[in-house]
Chain A
Amino acid sequence: MSEVEEHPEQHEEKLLDSLVRQARDLSKAMPGALSRVTVTAGDHQVEVEWQAPVTVAAVAGAVPATAFSPATAVTAAVPAFEPEAPIGHAVVAPLVGTFYRAAEPGATPYVNEGDVVEAGQELAIVEAMKIMNRVEADRAGRIVKILPSDGEMVEYGQELMYIEPVSSDTE
């Protein structure tokens, strides 16, 4: 099972970011285990494959999912471009809510730009209807960028921070 989003009129300089984001969103959205992810800048494609069949539980207002046959990859042509250097791995919001950098107002932020974090370390919280949802580092590295300001409303999948790998000889 696979899916590709087309971006025929994407600005060139945004294309790589967009491809990466599409691949990531698709890979997270899929109910089955990932079997392959391809983000090819020169060939201008995003390709995500995952295991099928998968059945999603029925919920009110929705019907049970139909199984698709696996690995029917579709490729979308997109304009050529010169990719920028990647800025790192993006940590995204787990749900819609208010982004907070610290446990409470005035407290020390969980992390600052330049900090080196471990996988699983708490980076921020996203509060939705009084529930505090932890945002954790899904890999180790250095926080190179924090995007939303403290107290800003963020949406699902919005990029919150970039983590750059730290080479072992500098650790």
Chain B
Amino acid sequence: MVEKVLIANRGEIALRVARACRELGIACVAVYSTADADSAVVRFADEAVHIGPPAAARSYLHIPSIIGAALKTGADAIHPGYGFLSEDPYFAEICAEHGITFIGPPASVMEKMGNKATARQAMKEAGLPLLPGTIEPVATADEAQYVADDIGYPVIIKAAAGGGGRGMSVVNRREDLRRAYQMTRATAQAIFKDSNVYIERYLRTARHTEIQIVCDSLGDGIHLGERDCSVQRRHQKLIEEAPSIHLTPELRAAMGSAAVKGALSVGYTGAGTMEFLLDEEGRYWFMEMNTRIQVEHPVSEMVTGIDLIKEQIRVAQGQPLTHSQDEVRLTGHAIECRINAEDPARDFAPAAGRLEEFAPPGGPWTRVDSHCRPGWMVSPYYDSLIAKLIVWAPDRGEALDRMARALSEFRVNGPGMRTTIGFHQRVFAHPVFRSGDFYTDFIDRHMAG
């Protein structure tokens, strides 16, 4: 059994994991860089270890320091959160070699599903629908041209090792293909140290619909319904909601069981997300799998009442799932807004600085997951997420009104500080967003300028 969890992350997710540990009666260890020496999770955790300077490569991404911190404190498990080392199979393997439980899937499964090309192959074998496109990486510009002409435009070129919305190019016209192919390869090499790319059809009027799953090590898996994440800017999610108003109960059950079947077919354990594209006719295609907890997991927690972080920790210890599929009930509607320290007027450029005022909203069914407080320095070294604002209501209309109310309460100020709060307020006032009848191009089409 796990007795002490080291949290190999920072920010709101580190605090979220620490809270779950506390409720489970498990000790937790925070690790921190110099920039995070007085962070919320350092204050909250039972122990804290200084692992390096602010640069992530020498702290939160530095495996020897994190393993060293676990050995120093006697932690018997590591929760990687999201980002950083959460999808690094090598890190999962190193944990296992040191007798430390990695709270996530086995390294080999993570490796297979973390690569978009091998994941597509595995899910094809499991019988999941895939968009027309390549399974094997496309090796040359000539081959890319041939493949794209065959699929038909628009196409999307994706880095096989990509993630987090990076390493993707949409190509609308035949004459743009070669340049986009070369650029995506170069970007993929620079960011992911792997220049392999593949090509698939791009659906402009599609909805980004993802299924939350959890599998235990006894071979059981369940899904917790879907999240609609269609409000994106440059493939970065800004707003997520559950359930999707575009799924019938039958379609939800079909997509959910396909997701679980796909995950179990590769021996997946832990929490994970299967991302699908959904079109207007209710057809869906597997896109990729995220082999970790996701930023937007709270919306699934709010509509199911299941604590996903606790569930991750339980199944990592070999315990069975707490719910059968029949016991998972979706109730009401939940929405999450990502509050980022970014300036929407300057193309969402990160706007770090010290928070003079940080007054999150409260009130009924209003949840704020954040590590921030007045006086906290929003560091330029890490991602710009400062808070996740989540509301729940019996139906979507009331949830929209509740979110608008909560956003109007949220006060964040400081020298140079800009946030996405005002941008979210404009989205929630937009009739197209309120209607729910929008696609992944909502921001470009309706919020430009």
Give A contacts to B, CB under 8 Å.
3, 5, 25-26, 28-29, 31, 56-68, 95-98, 128-129, 131, 153, 155-158
Chain A residues in 8 Å Cβ range of B65: 95-97, 128, 156
Please count how many residues in chain B sit with their CB below 8 Å of the partner chain's CB atoms: 46
Q: Mark the stretch among B136-144, B174-182, B349-357, B395-403 that contacts chain A.
A: B349-357
Decide: A59 and B380 in contact? CB cutoff 8 A. no
Q: A65-B381, A96-B69 are in contact. Are A59 and B56 (CB under 8 A)?
A: yes
Decide: B377 and A61 in contact? CB cutoff 8 A. no
Q: Which of A26, A65, A98 is the most central at the interface, judged by chain B CB atoms within 10 Å of its CB? A: A65
Q: How far is the CA of A5 from the CA of B349 in the complex (A)?
A: 27
Decide: B34 and A95 in contact? CB cutoff 8 A. no
Decide: B62 and A153 in contact? CB cutoff 8 A. no
Q: How far is the CA of A3 from the CA of B164 in the complex (A)?
A: 31
Decide: A95 and B60 in contact? CB cutoff 8 A. no
Decide: A156 and B57 in contact? CB cutoff 8 A. no
Q: Is B252 an interface residue (CB 8 A)?
A: no
Decide: A153 and B51 in contact? CB cutoff 8 A. no
> Which of A58, A131, A155 is the one whose CB lies under 8 Å from B50?
A155
Q: A29-B35, A59-B57, A61-B83 are in contact. Are A153 and B352 (CB under 8 A)?
A: no
Q: How far is the CA of A7 from the CA of B67 in the complex (A)?
A: 30
Q: How far is the CA of A57 from the CA of B214 in the complex (A)?
A: 35
Q: How far is the CB of B90 from chain A (nearest CB, A)?
A: 12
Give B contacts to A, CB under 8 Å.
34-35, 37-38, 49-69, 71-72, 82-86, 94, 164, 191-192, 349-352, 377, 380-384
Decide: A29 and B34 in contact? CB cutoff 8 A. yes
29 pairs, A vs B, C-beta closer than 8 Å: A3-B377, A5-B38, A25-B34, A29-B53, A31-B55, A56-B381, A59-B55, A60-B83, A60-B192, A61-B56, A61-B83, A61-B85, A62-B56, A62-B84, A62-B381, A63-B384, A64-B350, A66-B350, A95-B52, A96-B49, A96-B52, A96-B65, A97-B65, A128-B64, A129-B63, A153-B72, A155-B51, A156-B50, A156-B52
> Which of B67, B69, B85, B380 is the one whose CB lies under 8 Å from A65?
B380
Chain B residues in 8 Å Cβ range of A29: 34-35, 53-54
Chain B residues in 8 Å Cβ range of A25: 34, 37
Task: For the complex of A and B, list the 10 residue pairs with the smallest distance between their C-beta atoms, beginning with the closest.
Answer: A61-B83, A96-B68, A153-B72, A128-B64, A61-B84, A29-B34, A96-B65, A65-B380, A129-B64, A66-B380
Q: A96-B49, A131-B64 are in contact. Are A155 and B72 (CB under 8 A)?
A: yes
> Which of B61, B64, B85, B382 is the one whose CB lies under 8 Å from A95?
B64
Chain B residues in 8 Å Cβ range of A65: 380-381
Chain B residues in 8 Å Cβ range of A28: 34, 53
Decide: B68 and A128 in contact? CB cutoff 8 A. yes
Chain A residues in 8 Å Cβ range of B352: 66, 68
Chain B residues in 8 Å Cβ range of A57: 57
Chain A residues in 8 Å Cβ range of B71: 153
Q: How far is the CB of A57 from chain B (nearest CB, A)?
A: 8
